[in-house]
Every structure is written in C-alpha cells, then in structure tokens.
Amino acid sequence: MANRSNKVVLSARVDPYLKAALELLAASKKEKIVKLLETFLENGLHDMSVANPFLSKVDKAEKTSFMNVFTAIWSDDEVIYKLRAGVLGPQYAGETAWRQAMVVTGDHYFKGTDDLYGDLNGLSEKWGYKAEYNYFLDMEKVRSEWPLIEGYVSFIENNKPFEPAYEDYKRMLEQSKAK
C-alpha cells in the first residue's frame, strides 16, 4: 500500500515535564501535539542564525536564518539537495555530505549542463542570493552513481589514511566482483 502522507516520522525522547507542557498547551489551543511540534521546529530553525553562504565574500560575515539557507538549497530530489548542502561545506552539511559533494564537483567526470543551484529556489531574485560558484553537472550520471559515491566516501572515512581516487575505488569494486 502506498504511503499517502507527505509527512515523515520523527522520534524523540523528551523530559516528562516537557511532554506534560505540550499536552497542556495542545489542549488549551485545541491543537494536536504534532502540529505544535512542527510549529516549534520551524520557528526554532528560523531563529538559528548562520553565516550567509550566498553573498559576496565581502558580505560573508552577514548572518541569515538557517531556514533561509535551507529554503535556497531544498529540493525533493535527494541527490540534488545533498549536493547543494554538501557544496556549502561541512559547517552547513557535515563532513560526509561535504566529501560526497567534493567527489562530484571536484572531478571533470561529472561535468554536464545541469545547473546545481539554478536560481536558488527563487531566492536569487527575491533576496539577491548567488552561489559562490556555478556547478554544471551531468545529474543523470551523478544519480546513477550516487550509491557508489556514498560507498566511496564511507570507505574513505573508515580506512584512513588510505584514500584511493574515485576511479580507482570503482576499479577495486569491479575487480572484487570479478573474483
């Protein structure tokens, strides 16, 4: 049966007094706890400030809401979203996503005509956001090799200091399958 909901499940442990407070607020507002939690999460993400990665180097010190950055990079296409976040650097996406993005953007192998950032989901015009560099990629090739890229980065992270090139890693995998 297909999942008809656009929602995902999030599990969290909270102190009993916070749960009681949520229940009380939900009852007083005649709202569901889940709706309150969604509102709190979104408000909290708006309240978190980060350096704006979409301004000129001179303006990099300017802070913006984390949600503004997230809105600029969000895509329903998981590979595009992960690449957009990863390219911004580990301070925005963590080490693993950054390494995955560097595999894709650091090699001519994935070059193509698809603009990774495009108009930043309309924020280029709305707020003057501009990616520091335009990445033009062959997204079909990237998508087809995404599981390999994830495996390669995992291999690198688990086998330091051994760091074969991506193409060498692919050859190693092929040779291991041939045996």
CA gap 41, 62 in Å, rounded: 23
SS3 111: strand
**What is the distance in angstroms between the CA of the first residue and the CA of the last residue of the chain?**
40
Q: Which pLDDT tens digits describe the chain residue by residue (179 residues)?
A: 454 568 888 888 999 999 999 999 999 999 999 999 999 999 999 999 999 998 755 555 688 899 999 999 999 999 999 999 999 999 999 999 999 999 999 989 999 999 999 999 888 888 888 888 889 999 999 999 999 999 999 999 999 899 999 999 999 999 888 76
What is the per-residue DSSP string for 67-79? HHHHHHH--SSHH
pTM for the complete prediction? 0.83
Question: Residue 161: what pLDDT?
Answer: 92
CA gap 39, 44 in Å, rounded: 8
Name which of 98, 75, 85 is nearest 53 in CA terms: 85
CA gap 54, 128 in Å, rounded: 8
Per domain, the residue ranges of the chain are 15-47, 48-178
Whether the Cβ atoms of residue 120 and residue 70 lie closer than 8 Å to each other: no
